[in-house]
């Protein structure tokens, strides 16, 4: 989705990014061995609200072979160990989004962590109006392979829309022939993933992140209350079961899933069980390149 660079929507995208950059950096500093998944997630989500934003999706805490969609459940008692920790965090201001991720290396995987970070820098260097997204993917792929690792090829960056976390264009993590052309005002998240495995992810069994698929009618009272909250508060953005103000939120969600009203996001794991690192920024394409809304201030 594109925004007018002189519009209020542009300013809201920038504000979301500014809040998010601060929260990401502060959250990363709090990650250490023994930090609770739920503890760091709720801290970051509360901090976003303190600074004037709203979480665009539940904080992702994905470790080691998990690439994305790892998240804390209600009453989650898991703690971070000597892991490769990916924090993926989003902020919105009235539905205008920013999305960012950072890898905190507690596992002694400094080169793998650096590969994703350098790939992101290389990708941002080629962004300008008219560039093909395949060229961005080529820069990512070349950088990660230069470190001796593989990009995760079945995960991509993505456009950010109004109340939509994933829109066109996709930003591949490898060179592709058929791709989209970026235009001034495009708001996109660029997110390289690097791995010492084969470079593909598959769905795991854990599922703690959900989103509205369609509106519908439900008979169960708890499920109906959950659906009302989802449509009013989260709209089409992803949410966590622990955000629902109903008794037995998981039961309510199962009822909504059975009716295809809500869908889940299973945790995504590297096919071979190998380590994955990630780095992500949100950018707005400008006349002479791009503005990185989630860069540290």
Which sequence positions are flagged as catalytic? Answer: 88, 99, 158, 166, 191, 280
Continuous H helices in the chain: 8-30, 37-50, 110-126, 133-146, 221-229, 249-258
State the virtual CA torsion across 238, 253, 48, 295 in degrees, nearest 10. -30
Helix, strand or coil, per DSSP, at residue 89: strand
Q: Order the strands of the 96-105 sheet from edge to edge.
A: 54-63, 84-93, 96-105
- Phi/psi for 160 (5° steps) reads -120, 125
Torsion of CA 134, 155, 234, 49, to 10 degrees: -90
Residue 105: CA count within 13 A, CB half-sphere: 15
CA neighbor of 91 nearest in space, from 28, 20, 159? 20
CA torsion sign, 245 to 247 to 248 to 252?
Answer: negative
- The CA-based angle 128-126-173, given to 5 degrees, is 115
């Amino acid at each position: 989705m594109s925004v007018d660079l002189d519009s209020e929507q542009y300013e809201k995208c920038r504000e979301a990014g500014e809040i998010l950059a601060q929260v990401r950096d502060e959250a990363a500093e709090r990650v250490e061995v023994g930090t609770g998944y739920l503890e760091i997630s709720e801290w970051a989500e509360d901090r976003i609200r303190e600074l004037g934003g709203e979480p665009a999706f539940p904080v992702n805490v994905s470790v080691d072979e998990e690439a994305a969609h790892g998240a804390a459940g209600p009453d989650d008692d898991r703690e971070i160990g000597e892991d490769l920790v990916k924090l993926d965090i989003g902020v919105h201001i009235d539905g205008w989004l920013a999305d960012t991720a950072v890898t905190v290396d507690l596992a002694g995987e400094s080169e793998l962590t650096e590969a994703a970070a350098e790939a992101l820098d290389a990708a941002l260097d080629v962004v300008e109006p008219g560039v093909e997204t395949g060229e961005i993917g080529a820069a990512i792929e070349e950088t990660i392979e230069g470190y001796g690792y593989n990009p995760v090829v079945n995960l991509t960056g993505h456009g950010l829309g109004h109340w939509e976390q994933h829109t066109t264009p996709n930003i591949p993590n490898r060179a592709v022939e058929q791709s989209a052309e970026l235009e001034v005002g495009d708001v996109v998240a660029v997110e390289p993933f690097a791995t010492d495995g084969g470079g593909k992810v598959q769905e795991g069994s854990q599922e703690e992140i959900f989103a509205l698929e369609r509106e519908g009618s439900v008979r169960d009272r708890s499920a109906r209350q959950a659906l009302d909250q989802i449509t009013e508060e989260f709209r089409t953005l992803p949410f966590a079961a622990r955000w629902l103000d109903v008794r037995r939120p998981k039961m309510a969600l199962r009822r909504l899933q059975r009716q295809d009203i809500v869908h889940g996001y299973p945790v995504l794991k590297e096919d071979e069980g190998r380590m994955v690192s990630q780095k992500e920024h949100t950018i707005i394409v400008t006349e002479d390149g791009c503005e990185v809304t989630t860069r540290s201030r």
